[in-house]
Amino acid sequence: MESVSVTDLYQASFLLLNGCELTGVECIPMTGSLACRMTFAGPGVAPLIDAWFDKRASANLWAFRSAYNQVNSYVHQAKKSYDRSHRGCATGGGE
């Protein structure tokens, strides 16, 4: 099965909207912030990625809005979980 990882919330929403399965969300520490990499899988991932970068992607705006809110929720939860699991790391484990 094809898979792709993206950090763009709009691109992730487009993939989710078009039936790709979100298989993982990974937080990536950046300078002063935290980004998330989302991995999607499905038999039609490659053509969707091609359509995205060729500027041929289209979607129903109401459905896209719903998918965007869902992706945003996944990212928020991942960041919250990351913060909880890494709390105290910068201070030597909370000592």
pLDDT digits (tens, 9 = 90+) for 31-77: 889 999 999 999 999 999 999 999 999 999 999 999 999 999 999 99
The whole domain housing 70 covers: 3-91
Helix (H, G, I), strand (E, B) or coil at 90: helix
Alpha helices by DSSP H, listed for the chain, are: 9-17, 45-53, 61-86
Distance from C-alpha of 55 to C-alpha of 42, rounded to nearest angstrom: 21
Is pLDDT above 50 for 95? no
Is pLDDT above 70 for 88? no
pLDDT recorded at residue 32: 86
**Total domains, the chain:** 1
**Is there a contact between 45 and 20 (Cβ–Cβ < 8 Å)?**
yes
Confidence of residue 90 (pLDDT cuts 50, 70, 90): low
**Is there a contact between 9 and 36 (Cβ–Cβ < 8 Å)?**
no
pTM for the structure as a whole: 0.87
